[in-house]
Structure 1
Amino acid sequence: MILAAHDHGGDGPPILLLHGAGGDMSAWNVVAPQLNGRCVAVDLRGHGKSPDGPWDWDAVLDDLEATTVQFGLDNPVVVGHSLGGILAGMWARRHPGCPAAVSLDGHRSAATDPANYAGLAPEQVEADLAKLNAIFTAQEEMITRPNREITSTLRNSPEFADALPIFAEVTVPFLLVLATKNLPVPPDLIPLMDAHRAGLRRDLPKICPNVRVHEIDATHGMVFEQPAEVAAVVNGFISG
């Protein structure tokens, strides 16, 4: 599939930029000019101006392969936000010669396996997950792009629920940037979000000792809230 994409130009190594679920390439409009490299941002299949198509992880990676050929990106660094961060890890696993990959708060869905939450009673986790999934279902019904097929596939995908096993298989330099603040949620779900973050802090050193972790004072929307800091962190990791 040929993806819609925008070449931001720039000097330095090629950088492929991948947005999050429900977003598009415009997510990188502020960050891309601050990155030290030639940046190309894409619309993933089913998003933005790219064509629709069934969500299959290998097929999505093939789309990205075609984009790198189309734009002449030779062995790019891959930087992704949220869903794009999961794909950055998958790309790095597929390309062991990749110079580096960065995931900006792309790791586990907010509604993941109950065992992935730390510091909250199991019965509270189950009750809060039911509330959170009800919110996601209501939101899904209102979204037109990506379509319901893609959103449903993602919500039920093991890779989307927990990408840490994928990250554990990455052998290239890999940075995971974690948000320290919660997105706006109903007050009664704040403990669940805190437990989600605590679970990541507990599990990352055990499951993914190969991954460098950096925390940033922002919510999951860090690309929009702290673009200069995000760019500085990415630039420092790539140059290092």
Structure 2
Amino acid sequence: MSHAPHLHAPHLRVSGPAGDLAVADHGGDGPDVVLCHGANRTLLDWERLRPHLTGMRLVSYDLRGHGRSDPPADEDYGWAAHLADLDAVTEALALDNPRVIGHSLGGMIALCHGQRRPGCPGVVDLDGLGGGRPELYPGLDAEVVAERRAQQLAAHSAALAPDVLDAGQAELAVGRARQAAAVNGLDAALEEAGARRSLQPLEDGRYRRKPAASAQAALMEPLEGWDTFTAVREAACPTLLVQGARAPLLDRLPAPFRELNEALVAGVRNGLEALREDGPPGLHIARVREAGHMLHLQAPEKVGRVVRDFLLP
């Protein structure tokens, strides 16, 4: 495989409860902040946002089973497991009651951290909006929601198969990442670097995809019976939700999946409106009109300003 431009940062290995975690200590003056990326992404996702988070000491890490972090042998990707990893990073780097910023799945981890830490100075969820509760899908029966979510997950897992790729298949996966970057307005070189970071070289010249296609169900399992809006109401610390205002591209999805995701968009809208009316004290909600779900990569300057205004008032 050829290699994309590599982004350098001081990397270290931290021993977590299910294996080693790949951590980058970016330094900086100010309060400690931990960055948690989304599902099937890596710590490189923060490279565009970091320059706009001045006044903080930033630490990022690959979530368990992602990038260069070890996968859990028992395939435990539950909230408690993710929080135990976050605690391991915090302890290993002697961080002082860090603020937590997360995107998508990482934003949900940040919210879960906020539920258990009343003294946390603040958590930020960047477009980690949703969950698996059927109430989030207005207009669809619970049975239909469960069936279509399972079908969508199966299709997603199949698209990532196989778990182990030969060199040609690995290059195709990297090429698809660059193509997706063009569609979504992302930096192609950064997306390529993230895709390569998600491919673990094996001794026989092949590559193991991380997280594996076969691990996708376990990765998404914590969302069943969970939703962002309940977690926000139960948060015990100041919370910022930032939504990318651009509507997701759903036209190319099969009709059942399109209907499912359109319902989720409506459910998220309803949930945010309810929080604006009677959300808990300390909750702030912002929208970034210039971006969609990948808002920290599409509009890093704007997102950085919103986050800094919240965490460093």
**Shorter-chain TM-score category?**
0.7 to 0.9
1:81 and 1:181 map into 2 onto residues whose CA distance is 16
Q: Is 1:222 equivalent to 2:295 in the alignment?
A: yes
Q: CA deviation at 1:71?
A: 1.6
Q: With the length of structure 1 as denominator, give the TM-score of the two structures.
A: 0.85
Task: Kindly state the Cα deviation for residue 76 of structure 1 after the two structures are TM-superposed.
Answer: 0.8
1:74-89 equivalent positions in 2, closer than 5 A: 74-89=96-111
The match for 1:20 is 38
Partner Cα distance (1:121, 1:92) in 2: 31
Matched, 1:45 2:64: yes
Larger Rg: 2
Quote the residue 1:182 is aligned against. 247
TM-score (normalised: structure 2) = 0.67
What's 1:117 paired with?
A: 137
Structure 2: segments with no counterpart, 5+ residues: 1-15, 164-208
Shift of 1:134: 5.2
Question: What do the CA deviations read for 1:39-96 (whole angstroms, capped 9, x no partner)?
Answer: 0011111011111113232122111111112222101110000010000011111211
Residue 198 (structure 1) shift = 2.4
Q: 1:142 to 1:102 in 2, by over 3 A?
A: farther
Partner of 1:204: 272
Q: CA deviation at 1:140?
A: 4.5
Local SS of the residue matching 2:304: helix
Alpha-carbon offset, residue 205 of structure 1: 4.8
Q: Give the total of aligned pairs.
A: 236
Identity of aligned residues (%): 34
For the 8 Å contact 2:116–2:236, the answer to whether it is kept is no
The alpha-carbon distance between structure 1 residues 161 and 56, as it changes in their structure 2 partners (threshold 3 A), is closer
* One of 234, 243, 260 as aligned partner of 1:169: 234
> 1:213 Cα shift?
1.6
